[in-house]
């Protein structure tokens, strides 16, 4: 075992993510044997707490709905996920029951990992499931996830969940046994055993998903997810589902991504790294200072412009008057509501428009500063 993987063998709280490609048969549909093989390993991790992030809902729902491939439109993908998620959970429930273990279904969207109340609730539920010995099985809440709020892939969801539960390790399982320096189907490509930072990725060809119609993100989203976890101080092992026992033991399998940052405490990792801002507000110099130097909330009085078509709850950028992005935050108003509020004090607005207008445009707890 290489010294670098001591943190893997020592890890107590672990997020394991498995992709659709590792759970389905070549003909499509869930592969019960592969689910059982994974569960056989997970139940043997004595003294460890495991969160399983499992894809496969859409893939599992295709055949029962008479679909021959992954539909292009979101509505039919969501319908397939709705049918497939039940089947997926039923499969995990039966598989863990062989060992007398319970599973708990946890469906999340991006906003759940950053909105204060949702974040706390999700954390509390997961923590309680651990305390009661049940295994949380997480997936994206495909029914309510739209283009704006979906993670888009479960790799990043897994990284954010690892951050949420303060995991010591993230394991990404796929149908390929690690990151390759080129297309893994080419005989000249070789596995990268370790990534020590973004510099090691220069020149590596990151392709899209392998088996058409099954996986979604390919290597791009896995490497992004590893980066998010690493920045939060969490080591990552990427390997094939068939290697999960070795990966969890700290053996030199797959690709190990070394943590680059310190353990982050905030809940706003997603906002800084994985969100797509839906618009922006422009701040005057006083508001820039309030936000960057004094840790204040953003009030209507300090805003001089509104850009884009966002709605309340979405992530937006905060820009200074030169157009530089200084922060991101979850906005409390729709873009169309803001112009008449600008430059005015919250007290004045509350008097004129009602107490609902006393709220900040962005609360300081929903705001993350970007590095200069």
Ligand X SMILES: N[C@@H](CCC(=O)OP(=O)(O)O)C(=O)O
Ligand Y SMILES: Nc1ncnc2c1ncn2[C@@H]1O[C@H](COP(=O)(O)OP(=O)(O)O)[C@@H](O)[C@H]1O
Which residues form the interface with ligand Y (CB under 6 A)? 19-22, 174-176, 179-180, 184, 204-207, 209-210, 215-219
Name which of residues 210 to 269 contact ligand X (CB under 6 A).
215-217
Residue 316 makes CB contacts below 8 A (sequence gap 6+) with 277, 278, 279, 280, 281, 308, 310, 328, 329, 330, 331, 362
Q: Residue 14: name its binding partner from ligand X, ligand Y, none (Cβ under 5 to 8 Å by kind).
A: none
Rounded (5°) CA angle 210-214-215: 60
Q: Reduced to 3 states, what is the DSSP secondary structure of residue 204?
A: coil
- Calpha distance 356→351 (Å, rounded): 10
Q: Is 142 in the site for ligand X (CB under 6 A)?
A: yes
The phi-psi region of residue 342 (left if phi > 0; otherwise alpha if psi is between -120 and 50; otherwise beta) is beta
188: burial class by Cβ within 10 Å (0-12, 13-18, 19+)?
A: exposed
Maximum pairwise Cα distance, the chain: 71
Q: Residue 37: name its binding partner from ligand X, ligand Y, none (Cβ under 5 to 8 Å by kind).
A: none
Q: Are 95 and 36 in contact (CB under 8 A)?
A: yes
Any bridge partners for residue 104, and if so which? 136
Q: Are 22 and 31 in contact (CB under 8 A)?
A: no
Name which of residues 75 to 114 contact ligand X (CB under 6 A).
81
Name which position in 113, 154, 230, 275 contacts ligand X (CB under 6 A): 154
Q: Return the DSSP state at 30.
A: B
Q: Residue 140: name its binding partner from ligand X, ligand Y, none (Cβ under 5 to 8 Å by kind).
A: ligand X
Q: Is 55 in the site for ligand X (CB under 6 A)?
A: yes
CB of 339 to ligand X, least distance (A): 38
Q: Residue 243: name its binding partner from ligand X, ligand Y, none (Cβ under 5 to 8 Å by kind).
A: none
CB of 51 to ligand X, least distance (A): 15
| Residue whose CB is less far from ligand X, 79 or 299 | 79
Q: Is 19 in the site for ligand X (CB under 6 A)?
A: yes
Q: Are 167 and 230 in contact (CB under 8 A)?
A: no
**C-alpha distances in Å from residue 201, one per residue of 124, 190, 206, 240:** 36, 14, 9, 20
Structure tokens at 90: 């039923």
| Residue whose CB is less far from ligand X, 84 or 315 | 84
- Calpha distance 28→50 (Å, rounded): 27
* Residue 282 backbone dihedrals phi, psi, to 5 degrees: -105, 130
Q: Residue 56: name its binding partner from ligand Y, ligand X, none (Cβ under 5 to 8 Å by kind).
A: ligand X
CB of 154 to ligand Y, least distance (A): 7
Q: Is 159 in the site for ligand X (CB under 6 A)?
A: no
Q: Residue 81: name its binding partner from ligand Y, ligand X, none (Cβ under 5 to 8 Å by kind).
A: ligand X
| Residue whose CB is less far from ligand X, 102 or 211 | 211
Q: Is 57 in the site for ligand X (CB under 6 A)?
A: yes
| Residue whose CB is less far from ligand Y, 29 or 300 | 29
Residue set of the binding site: 17, 55, 142, 154, 174-175, 216-222
CB of 215 to ligand Y, least distance (A): 2
Structure tokens at 227: 């980066």
CB of 332 to ligand X, least distance (A): 29
The phi-psi region of residue 26 (left if phi > 0; otherwise alpha if psi is between -120 and 50; otherwise beta) is alpha
Footprint on this chain of ligand X (rule: CB under 6 A):
19-21, 55-59, 81, 139-140, 142, 153-154, 215-217
């Amino acid at each position: 075992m290489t010294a670098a993987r001591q943190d893997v063998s020592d890890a107590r709280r672990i997020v394991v993510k498995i992709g659709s490609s590792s759970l389905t048969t070549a003909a499509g549909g869930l592969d019960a044997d592969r689910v059982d093989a994974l569960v056989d390993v997970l139940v043997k991790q004595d003294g460890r707490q495991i969160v399983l992030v499992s894809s496969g809902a859409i893939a599992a729902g295709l055949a029962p709905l008479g679909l021959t491939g992954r539909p292009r439109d979101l509505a039919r993908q969501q319908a397939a996920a709705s049918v497939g998620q039940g089947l997926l959970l039923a499969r995990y429930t039966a598989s863990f029951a062989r060992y007398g273990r319970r599973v708990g279904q946890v469906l999340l969207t991006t906003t759940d990992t950053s909105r204060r109340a949702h974040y706390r609730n999700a954390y509390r539920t997961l923590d309680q499931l651990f305390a009661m010995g049940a295994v949380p099985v997480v997936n994206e809440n495909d029914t309510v996830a739209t283009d704006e709020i979906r993670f888009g892939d479960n790799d990043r969801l897994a990284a954010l969940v690892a951050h949420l539960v303060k995991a010591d390790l993230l394991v990404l399982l796929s149908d390929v046994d690690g990151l390759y320096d080129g297309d893994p189907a080419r005989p000249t490509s070789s596995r990268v055993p370790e990534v020590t930072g973004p510099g090691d990725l220069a020149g590596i060809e990151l392709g899209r998903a392998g088996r058409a119609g099954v996986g979604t993100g390919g290597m791009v989203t896995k490497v992004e997810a590893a980066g998010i976890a690493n920045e939060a101080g969490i080591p990552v092992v990427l390997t094939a589902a068939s290697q999960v026992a070795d990966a969890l033991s700290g053996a030199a399998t797959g690709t190990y991504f070394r943590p680059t940052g310190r353990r982050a405490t905030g809940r706003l990792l997603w906002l800084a790294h994985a969100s797509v801002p839906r618009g922006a507000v422009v701040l005057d110099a006083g508001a820039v200072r309030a936000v960057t130097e004094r840790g204040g909330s953003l009030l209507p009085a300090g805003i001089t412009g509104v850009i884009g078509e966002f709605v309340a709850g979405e992530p937006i950028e905060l820009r200074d008057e030169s157009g530089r992005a200084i922060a991101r935050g979850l906005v409390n108003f729709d873009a169309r509501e803001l112009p008449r509020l600008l430059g005015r004090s919250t007290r004045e607005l509350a008097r004129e428009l009602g107490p609902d207008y006393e709220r900040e445009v962005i609360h300081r707890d929903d705001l993350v500063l970007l590095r200069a």
